[in-house]
Homo-oligomer: A and B are copies of this chain.
Amino acid sequence: MEAVLINGVASAYASVEDRGLHYGDGLFETIACRGARPLFIDQHLQRMERGARILGIAFPGRALLRKDIDQLLKGRRQQHSIIKLILTRGRGKRGYRYQAGQVPTRICMRSAWPTHVQRWARQGIGTRFCEMQVAVNPALAGIKTLNRLENVLASGELGSACDEGFLSDLDGNVIEGTMSNLFAVIDDTLLTPDLSRCGIAGIMRAQIIDCAKACGIAVKITNLSKKDLLNSDGIFVSNSVIGLCIVNQLEQRRFTHSMMIETIREGLKVRIDSDAKNVT
């Protein structure tokens, strides 16, 4: 971690009474930044605002969150970095109950760009299915809350030889990676799991869906089984930091080059470059 603002003030410490720590009572966003430009920032802030509405957390406003981010990116030129934005319900007394309109805590952290991203983009990644399942709760589906123990424990199954793993729900539908969304190519269609009951709907996932449609590719949001994935023509994962990352291997299955994935990757690159040039 290179720099942190808590409620706009540089600090490395949060109140021990913060409800984020006690209950995971909050939200976060992970934002890729090129120099001083946070990518897809409107979409990230929009998702956080939607999450705050669902959790009943007073949203501090996009302008204030943007001000924190800009302060941490000020003067940066070409270096990539990562901004993690956390919004919690704020400090609280003992107990789950909260006051409406409680003052939330905003945490804005800047980290160095991770070294594995370029390697993954060049080489693709190896993946597996995780034992850890993702629990179904439609009320919390799609949003990016601080309740992330399933992702943590699934990532603990990966070991050093495996880059990413996939979590299924209790009905056997594969939902997401530990830190990514998942796409599969079957025949001429791009498929991605339905996240209306669980999982996090990634910002990059939405960009990829839009991008594929713009390229004239049929996109289907549906249930996918392990077998569907193992029998698919190709798989890739996505998140805001890695963008689109090709899966070379899932368990024992190896995948070969997919023209469709190449087309989407090229289209997505144009979108990302275009967003990086936006001045907002």
Contacts and interface: CB of A to CB of B under 8 A. Distances in A.
B16 A14 contact: yes
A56 interface: yes
Given A15-B13, A94-B1, A94-B82, A23 B151 contact: yes
A55 interface: yes
Interface residues of A, number: 64
A21 to B, nearest CB: 5
Contacts of A216: none
Interface string A65-107: 0000000000000000010101011000111111000000001
A149 B153 contact: no
A219 interface: no
A68 to B, nearest CB: 13
State the copy count for this chain: 2
Interface string A95-139: 111100000000101010010000000000000000111111111
19 contacts: A1-B17, A1-B94, A4-B16, A11-B16, A13-B14, A20-B21, A22-B86, A23-B24, A24-B147, A24-B149, A55-B149, A55-B152, A55-B153, A56-B153, A56-B156, A97-B156, A131-B139, A136-B170, A147-B148
Ranked 10 nearest A-B pairs via Cβ: A24-B24, A135-B135, A13-B13, A147-B147, A23-B148, A135-B137, A96-B155, A21-B21, A97-B155, A147-B149
